Amino acid sequence: MESFIIDTNFFFNLEIKSGFGKNPNEIIVNLTDMAKKLKKEKKAELFMPASIVSEFKTFMDEKSEIANEFLTTITIKSPDIENIKFSVAVFYKLVDESRSRSYRGLQIAEEIADQAGKIMLGKQDLSKVDYQKTIGVVVNKLRERYRQATRFNFLDSVADLDLIVLAKELDGCLVTSDEGVTRWGRIFGVKEISSVLFRQRLVSLLE
C-alpha cells in the first residue's frame, strides 16, 4: 500500500494543472473520490501532517462539507520526530545555508537603508501621507528582496519540515509544488512525485 504526503499548495496553486479540476473545490472533490477508492482497495493512502491541515483550513470555510469530507478520508498524522533519524550532514548543510542566507539578508537591508537615506535627503517637510508613499516604495523593495534572499528555495516553516519528515518516516511520496520543499526533500532523501503526474500515478494504481 503506497503512501502519499500532500502539501497545501497542491489544491490552491492552480498553475500546477494537476488534472483534478479547474478550482480548489473541484480538485478536493475529485481527489477525495479517488482517495476513497484507493483506500478501499488497499492500494494507497493519503496523508497530511496536522500543521499542513491547519494551513489547508485557512483557505476553506469552516463549514465546508467538501473540505470536511476530504479531511475525514485522508489520514492526519504528525511525524514521529522523537524516533526518525537523518544524516548529520543534512543539518550541517541546513545550518550553513541558514547562516549564508541570514548574512545576505543583512546585506540587502543595509543596501536598502542606504538608498532610503539618500531618497529622504532634503525632504524633511513631507506630510505624513507623502512620507509613507515615498518610503513605502523602499519598504516594499526591501521586503521582496529580503524574502527572495532568505526564503526562496528554502524551508521557511515547521510545516514544510513536517512534510519531509513524515514522507521519510512512512517511506512515502511527497506531493508538492513548493521548490524549497522539493529541494530539501531531495537533500533529506525522500521520495517524490510531480504534482502534474500525481493523478496519473493514482489512476494506474486503480487499474
The domain limits of the chain are 2-84+158-206, 88-150
Say if residues 45 and 38 touch (Cβ distance below 8 Å). yes
DSSP 17-40: --SS-SSHHHHHHHHHHHHHHHHH
Tell me: the pLDDT tens digits for 71-83? Answer: 999 999 999 999 8
Whose grid coordinates read 494543472?
Answer: 17
Q: Which of 20, 40, 29, 12 is nearest to 64 (CA)?
A: 29
- Indicate the helix (H) or strand (E) that contains 66: helix 65-73
Here the cell at position 179 is: 521548490
Domain 2-84+158-206 has CATH 1.20.1250.20: no
For the cut 90, the answer to whether the pLDDT of residue 84 exceeds it is no
pTM for this prediction: 0.81
Tell me: the pLDDT tens digits for 108-138? Answer: 999 988 888 888 887 777 788 888 888 888 8
